[in-house]
A and B are shown apart, each in its own frame.
Chain A
């Protein structure tokens, strides 16, 4: 169970790459997908490594990323 996950708003993402650079766990990458504006959309290539630190969302200039983190009680040991 990953500690966190993100949801990327496909249409807001402009493929600027700032989130890729800032993600400490190298979770994100460019997908093969393009949105209506023609931007190459980012996705979670390695979702299992996401720790829900929200660095990506904090640096996203288009606020395209929502971040979720595992509830405390559910976390193993």
Chain B
């Protein structure tokens, strides 16, 4: 049954703001998905020639290689400070950081909180997969209680390693942030909601309204030792319980 292509119209294609590079991520990893959503957002908002990607250190360390935009590599944990420096000297640029849970909520806690507290007009994309992926699966500040990781082999124990930190809520306590939300990607509805949230965050910055944070619950099939499909249901059934979804601040 041949499909007559000429009366078909393309309704979904690769974002223009992406290069043709293939992603280096593991099969089924949501990093690639978030990258696509960001790229589609950059296309829709027409900011490819104004966007600056502040890549952090983790699986997404070479994220700027995927985009046709200017990019910079920040030291581990310092992306929000680097983004601040860029935005303060050229407010025309649309500056966003792309950070994992270790980068943003462990070593970079001070930079992350103070950039938000100063209300820097930047967008922070926070990838929360409760693990250090690049380095092989160590416990992260967001690792769930009882969740196994190479540095908490018997599962996270609160007495030894405290509790998973709800960073969006921490940022939501500050007066300056304009839009703070937590999203997920485990099904089509979530993917669409996350796409809207990311677009809203970038729009916040474009309109000069101020600081926006989009925390996204993502997966890590490799270090969670489960299939990509299982990881989606794990996020839905386990992770969301500790990290509730939705907008926490919307002064936009």
Residue from A21, A57, A65 in contact with B229 in the complex, judged by beta carbons closer than 8 Å: A21
**Residues on B with beta carbons closer than 8 Å to the beta carbon of A12:** 22
**Residues on A with beta carbons closer than 8 Å to the beta carbon of B191:** 58-59
Known: A15-B27, A63-B18. A71 touches B7 (CB 8 A): yes
Contact between A59 and B33, CB atoms less than 8 A apart: yes
B31 contacts the other chain (Cβ, under 8 Å)?
yes
Contact between B28 and A66, CB atoms less than 8 A apart: no
Closest to A5 in B: B3
**Residues on A with beta carbons closer than 8 Å to the beta carbon of B221:** 16
Chain A 7-32, CB-CB to B under 8 Å as 1, else 0, gives 00001101111101110000000000
Contact between A69 and B23, CB atoms less than 8 A apart: no
B175 contacts the other chain (Cβ, under 8 Å)?
no
Looking at chain B's contact residues, the main secondary structure is mixed
Range of interface residues on A (Cβ < 8 Å): 35 or more
Contact between A69 and B188, CB atoms less than 8 A apart: no
Cα(A1)–Cα(B18), bound, Å: 33
Contact between A67 and B11, CB atoms less than 8 A apart: yes
Contact between B12 and A70, CB atoms less than 8 A apart: no
**Residues on B with beta carbons closer than 8 Å to the beta carbon of A63:** 14-15, 18, 32, 36
Contact between A68 and B33, CB atoms less than 8 A apart: no
Contact between A5 and B8, CB atoms less than 8 A apart: yes
Contact between A67 and B10, CB atoms less than 8 A apart: yes
A59 to chain B, nearest CB (A): 6
In the complex, chain A residues 36-77 whose Cβ is within 8 Å of any chain B Cβ: 39, 47-48, 52, 54-55, 57-63, 65-71, 74
Cα(A40)–Cα(B21), bound, Å: 20
Contact between A17 and B28, CB atoms less than 8 A apart: yes
Closest to B8 in A: A68
B89 contacts the other chain (Cβ, under 8 Å)?
no
B187 contacts the other chain (Cβ, under 8 Å)?
yes
Known: A2-B3, A61-B28, A61-B32. A17 touches B228 (CB 8 A): yes
Q: 19 new A-B pairs (CB below 8 Å) besides A4-B8, A17-B227, A63-B36? A: A5-B3, A5-B5, A5-B8, A11-B22, A14-B28, A16-B28, A16-B228, A17-B228, A20-B229, A52-B11, A58-B191, A59-B185, A61-B32, A62-B23, A62-B25, A67-B11, A68-B9, A69-B8, A70-B8
Chain B positions near chain A (C-beta within 8 angstroms): 1, 3-5, 7-15, 18, 22-23, 25-33, 36, 185, 187-188, 191-192, 221, 227-229, 232
